[in-house]
Chains A and B, each alone.
Chain A
């Protein structure tokens, strides 16, 4: 079943962090199949923008239109969202339980990111790259039209970067949209990448 088509539009957005106004008057659009690479210096507000789009933060002004309804986006933050004292599989099962994804979705997702044989290892025993892959597995456990990824490339080795590029390309090909923040350039070979630079 194809995911519902994505038509995200940001109008005149202003985001505040504490008393500081990070930026205002931001506007752009994102459709299904597009990948937006968000760049900017540290402190420019990339993470805060992503958090606002995800709904974790309220914008100071402006509108976010076309967000997929409940359960329509995947969020991958700075921190992996994995509990260190649980195994890889246990973490993913917990996420599936909260999001109405069947437990059967765990195995294919973990196999796709290449850590199925690590599934019973506690997360605290994994390397940074392996932890990132475990976090990426969430994206595959349930298909959702919008991906919001904050510094997803951190800690990934060359193979990990290739894997990430494949996942992103498949997602876009399937009609999904993605907003990715990264200091590094995105892996080569990704088509249809637009770049948005936030200046503080």
Chain B
């Protein structure tokens, strides 16, 4: 418990110290939505149909931006060695770090999604499914993305490799998330895809930290 608190405190402090770094993904999310809006006709009603897709892909890409930094700074300043050698199990430390990442990056995106959905003229019927889906899906993005970041932490030019690793793994999240919104809009059952997202989330929380810890240890080989 102490460990989780220590990690969360540290991540929070670091985010406060470099506020611009923290704001960037959120600004990017807004920019993506704005660009889609500008690319369409003004007040095009068709935009509402694409809104779930635009919002989900925007959230995904925004989180992708933050992944490279997740472990790289720790690797470069020697903190990663200390994490591996600490008494606290690395799996726990990693889980706490990924949770902090979600709290700082994913959660704000979820909160931003509702007003952006209105901007894209998403009907009110789809909004609960959107927000709930993002609330369930963004942690998966943090965890799976964090795993990919851990795999590539020792590589000098991991930048372009990260999206290649992460996006296929996240395809189901996108399908269920955007699909839940469209189901809600179409009057169909939105609960099933949301339950599936929740199941994927539970699977990730339990298994991914271990895999990510193994990947981090591999950086020292």
Contacts and interface: CB of A to CB of B under 8 A. Distances in A.
CB atoms of A and B under 8 A apart anywhere in the complex?
Answer: yes
A96 B217 CA distance: 21
Contacts of B10: 83, 86, 90, 94
Contacts of A97: 2-3, 5-7, 9
A96 B9 CA distance: 13
Given A97-B3, A98-B86, A98-B87, A82 B77 contact: yes
B43 interface: no
Interface in A63-94: 70-71, 73, 75, 77-86, 90, 93-94
A157 B185 CA distance: 69
Interface in B113-167: none
A142 B76 CA distance: 24
Contacts of A93: 6
Nearest to B73: A83
A79 B77 contact: yes
Interface residues of B, number: 29
A127 interface: no
**Prevailing SS type, chain B contact patch:** helix
B93 interface: yes
A86 B17 CA distance: 8
A183 interface: no
A85 B81 contact: no
A41 to B, nearest CB: 22
Nearest to B96: A98
Interface string A97-117: 111100000000000000000
B93 to A, nearest CB: 7
B78 A82 contact: yes
B77 A84 contact: yes
Given A86-B10, A98-B87, A81 B17 contact: no
Interface in B61-105: 73-74, 76-79, 81-88, 93
B220 A57 contact: yes
